[in-house]
Amino acid sequence: MEETKTLSEVRQLYSDKIREAFTLHGDDILVTDRESFLSLVHSLKGKPLNYIMLLDLTAVDYLAERSTVEMVYTLYSLDRNHRLRIKVPLPAAELSIASLTALWKNANWLEREVFDMFGVRFEGHPDLRHLFLYDEFQGHPLRKDYPLRRRQPIMPLRK
């Protein structure tokens, strides 16, 4: 498969921070490690690439196959009219990664959603608390090990 011009430029500029780079179904994808992630994203946001928008971030549960949860970030460059996906595998024993709230305001709620649903902690997040679930909720409902028919404790109504 042929590498896009943008992907080859990114690979050339940041080869020390990228473990893998490829194009899949028309999407350019970078794989990096947790230690290089924040500096890579910070560099991508600036010149010359200008990936100034964080479109989305989510997680994918691979705990059964690889004992990892993979963070997936989608960035967008208005100058290039181009999307770039960044993947960061996190080991099951330590589900934490640096927060992007200092770079993008919309990361606040997106990270809180991933925290709620997958249990990933975001280091440096200003207000990491539940977004959809109540405080007493047990488990993380989008993880594959979450029981299908699990019953949650009944909480008294708050006034």
Residue-wise pLDDT tens digits, 26-85 = 899 999 999 999 999 999 999 989 999 999 999 999 988 888 999 999 999 999 999 999
pTM flag (> 0.75): yes
pLDDT band at 145 (very low <50, low <70, confident <90, very high): confident
pLDDT of residue 29: 95
Cis ω before 89 (30° cut-off from 0): no
Q: Express as a percent the part of the chain with pLDDT over 70.
A: 96
> Is pLDDT above 70 for 2?
no
Average pLDDT estimate for 90-119: 96
Domains of the chain (ranges; CATH) run 5-98 (3.30.460.80)
Q: Is the pLDDT of residue 128 over 90?
A: yes
Residue 136, pLDDT above cutoff 60:
yes
Judge whether residue 19 has pLDDT over 90: yes
